[in-house]
Structure 1
Amino acid sequence: MQPPYYAVIFTSTQTSSTRGYKQAADLMEELAATMPGFLGVEGARNDSDHLGITVSYWRSLEDIARWKAQAEHQGAQRMGKSDWYDNYTVRICKVERAYSFDKS
């Protein structure tokens, strides 16, 4: 990915009731990959404190808005609020510069 692009940082704390969560999360990742402007996704979850961070990357703010409005994604958002999350925060950032290191 070459900047500039946008990162949507989704930080969440899960409830103890995660029935159906993994399947929905996998489906959301598959659906996001079909959306215009989707560039990729990374994520991690700490099972001991239920904290998770998912970062998705998008070409534009308009692409992010289309993803937020996508019907199945809206259903997952409702389930997240009612069943899967104690809390969450969404941050949208513009990536101006990026660099990395790979020992291999």
Structure 2
Amino acid sequence: MFAVIFRAKAGEQDASYAEMVGRMRDLAFSKYGCIDFIAVTEGEQEVAISYWPDEQAIQAWKNDPEHALAQQAGREKWYQSYTVQVVEVKREYSF
């Protein structure tokens, strides 16, 4: 299993942002096999972690045309900056 960690400094997040986030989340689950998605915001900082079965699913998601438009809007207006990390989950513990 792999995880994508998205860390961002928020910019102008309007109603179109909330709509796009919902659409992208639905697309990630329905078309690309996203396993789970968690996002939190504290002040200007946003952290989102999504879990994926493999790197191919992550790459397909990254290259999706609709997602590319969302990424462009993110760079132009919704975020001041962001960092994306792709990591492999080596172990998992639960309680």
Q: Distance in 2 between matches of 1:94 and 1:67?
A: 16
Percent sequence identity over aligned pairs: 32
Residues 39-54 of structure 1: matches in 2 within 5 Å? 39-46=35-42, 49-54=43-48
Give 1:100 shift.
Answer: 2.4
Residues 1-104 of structure 1: matches in 2 within 5 Å? 5-15=1-11, 17-19=12-14, 20-46=16-42, 49-101=43-95
The amino acid of 1:9's aligned partner reads I
The more displaced of 78-87 and 92-101 is: 92-101
Q: Distance in 2 between matches of 1:37 and 1:27?
A: 15
The amino acid of 1:34's aligned partner reads S
RMSD value over aligned CA atoms? 1.0
- The structure in which a higher percent of residues are helix is 2
TM-score (norm 1): 0.86
The amino acid of 1:10's aligned partner reads F
Q: Return 5+ residue gaps in structure 1 as ranges.
A: none
Structure showing greater Rg: 1
1:37/1:60 contact within 8 Å kept: no
Q: Return 5+ residue gaps in structure 2 as ranges.
A: none
Give 1:34 shift.
Answer: 1.0
User: Could you list the runs of 4 or more consecutive aligned residues of structure 1 that deviate by over 4 angstroms after TM superposition?
Assistant: none
Q: Distance in 2 between matches of 1:10 and 1:63?
A: 16
Number of matched residues?
94
